[in-house]
Amino acid sequence: MGSIYGDESVVSWDGQDSTSGHEEKIFVAVRLRPLNDRELAKNDVSDWECINNTTIIFKNTLHERSMLPTAYAFDRVFGNDSPTKQVYEEAAKKIVLSVLSGMNSTIFAYGQTSSGKTYTMTGITEYTLADIFDYISNHQERDFILKFSAMEIYNELVKDLLCSDGTPLRLLDDPERGTVVDKLTEVVLRDFNHLKELLSTCETQRQIGETTLNELSSRSHQILRLTVESEAREYVGALNSSTLTASVNFVDLAGSERASQTLSAGTRLKEGCHINRSLLTLGTVIRKLSKGRNGHIPYRDSKLTRILQSSLGGNARTAIICTMSPAHTHLEQSRNTLLFASCAKQVSTSAQVNVVMSEKALVKQLQRELARLENELRNLSSLSASGGSTSALKEKELLIEKMDKEMKELIHQRDLAQSRVQDMLRSSSTSKSWVDMNNSHEKGSWTDEYPASEASEIIDPLRFDVASRTSYISDKYEGAINPSRIEDQFLEHNEEQFLSDDTSPRLYIDKYFGPDPCKGWEKMAHVTDKGFEDNCKEVQCIDIDFTKSNMGSSESSPQKADPASGYTMQSPCSSDIEVSDTSLDIPRSRSCAAIMITVEKSPSLEAAKEKENENRLQNEADNQEKLSTVESVEKSENLSTKESQSPIMNENIKTLREDSMEKKHEDCVKELSEVIKPKSTPEPVKQVEDDFVRMIKPEPVKQVEDNSVRMIKPEPVKQVEDNFVRMIKPEPVKQVEKDYVRMNKPEPVKQVEDDLMTKPGSVKQVIDDSKEMKDAKTPNEPEKTADYGSPKAEEKNQYVSDWYTEFERQRRDIIELWNACNIPLVHRTYFFLLFKGDPSDAVYMEVELRRLSFLKNTLHGVRIVKDDQFFTQASSLKALNREREMLSKRMLKKFSAKEREALFQKWGIYLKSKQRRLQLCRRLWTDITNMERINESAAIVAKLVGFKEPGQAPKEMFGLSYSPDPTNLRSSSWRHSLPM
Ligand X SMILES: Nc1ncnc2c1ncn2[C@@H]1O[C@H](COP(=O)(O)OP(=O)(O)OP(=O)(O)O)[C@@H](O)[C@H]1O
Nearer to ligand X, 139 or 330 (CB): 330
Q: Which residues pair with 230 in a beta bridge?
A: 144, 244
Query: Is residue 145 exposed (0-12), middle (13-18) or buried (19+ Cβ within 10 Å)?
Result: middle
Selected binder of ligand X within 4, 26, 33, 543 (CB under 6 A)? 33
The piece of 169-177, 210-218, 299-307, 738-746 that touches ligand X (CB under 6 A) is 210-218
Residue pair 798/766 in contact by the 8 Å Cβ criterion: no
The span from the CA of 849 to the CA of 845, in Å, is 6
Hey, what's the torsion of the CAs at 586, 591, 596, 598, to 10 degrees? Answer: 160
Please pick, from the candidates 104, 105, 113, 309, the single residue that binds ligand X as defined by CB under 6 A: 113
CA–CA separation, 244 vs 231, rounded Å?
6
User: Can residue 230 be called a binding residue for ligand X (CB under 6 A)?
Assistant: no
d(CA 509, CA 546): 25
Q: Does 281 bind ligand X (CB under 6 A)?
A: no
Minimum Å gap between C-beta 84 and ligand X is 7
Q: Is there binding between residue 255 and ligand X (CB under 6 A)?
A: yes
Q: Footprint of ligand X on residues 756-815 (CB under 6 A)?
A: none
Rounded to a whole number of angstroms, the minimum distance from the CB of residue 124 to ligand X is 12
How far is residue 589 CA from its own chain's centroid? 66
Name beta bridge partners: 160. Answer: 151
Q: What size, in residues, is the chain? A: 980
Nearest in space to 569 (alpha carbons), one of 541, 542, 550, 544: 550
Is the distance from CB of 512 to CB of 401 less than 8 angstroms? no
Told to check if 29 binds ligand X by CB under 6 A, we report: no
| Binding of residue 852 to ligand X (CB under 6 A) | no
For residue 148, the minimal CB distance to ligand X (Å) is 21
Nearest-approach distance from CB 78 to ligand X, in angstroms: 8
For residue 106, state whether it binds ligand X (rule: CB under 6 A). no
CB of 122 to ligand X, least distance (A): 8
Q: Is 34 in the site for ligand X (CB under 6 A)?
A: yes
CB of 108 to ligand X, least distance (A): 12
For position 115 contacting ligand X by CB under 6 A, the verdict is: yes
Q: What phi, psi does 227 have (nearest 5°)?
A: -105, 130
- CB nearer to ligand X: pick between 36 and 46: 36
* Dihedral (Cα; 365, 367, 370, 375), 10-degree rounding: -100
Are 146 and 8 in contact by the 8 Å Cβ rule? The answer is no
Residue 351 and residue 24 in contact, taking contact as beta carbons nearer than 8 Å? yes
221 binds ligand X (CB under 6 A): no
Residue count, binding to ligand X (CB under 6 A)? 18
Cα–Cα distance, 812 to 849 (Å, whole number) = 10
Report how far apart, in Å, the C-alpha atoms of 885 and of each of 298, 824, 920 are. 44, 12, 10
- Name the residue nearer to ligand X (CB basis): 327 or 661: 327
114 belongs to the binding site for ligand X (CB under 6 A): yes
Asked if 222 interacts with ligand X (CB under 6 A), we say: no
- Check the annotation: does 309 bind a ligand: no
Determine if 422 is a binding residue for ligand X (CB under 6 A).
no
Q: Tell me if 427 contacts ligand X by CB under 6 A.
A: no
Cα 970–Cα 973–Cα 975 angle in degrees, nearest 5: 75
Question: Dihedral (C-alpha) 888, 893, 897, 899: value to the nearest 10 degrees?
Answer: -80
Cβ proximity to ligand X, 120 vs 547, nearer residue: 120
The distance of closest approach from Cβ of residue 332 to ligand X in the complex, given in angstroms and rounded to an integer, is 16
Of 111, 732, 839, 979, which one interacts with ligand X (CB under 6 A)?
Answer: 111
> What is the radius of gyration, based on Cα positions, of the chain?
53
Is 112 part of any known ligand binding site?
Answer: yes
Query: Is 264 a residue that touches ligand X (CB under 6 A)?
Result: no
Q: Helix 841-865 crosses helix 715-728 at what angle (to 10 degrees)?
A: 130
258 binds ligand X (CB under 6 A): no
Residue 293's SS3 state is: coil
Residues numbered 537-556 forming contacts with ligand X, rule: CB under 6 A: none
Q: Does residue 217 belong to the site contacting ligand X (CB under 6 A)?
A: yes
116 contacts ligand X (rule: CB under 6 A): yes
Contact region for ligand X (CB under 6 A) — 116-124, 263-271, 355-363, 638-646? 116-124
Q: How far is the CB of 339 from ligand X (least distance, A)?
A: 17
Q: How far apart are CA 484 and CA 118, in angstroms?
A: 118
Q: Is 119 in the site for ligand X (CB under 6 A)?
A: yes
700 sits near ligand X (criterion: CB under 6 A): no
Q: Which residues bind ligand X (CB under 6 A)?
A: 33-34, 36, 111, 113-119, 214, 216-218, 254-255, 323
Q: Please give the annotated binding residues for ATP, written as ranges.
A: 111-118
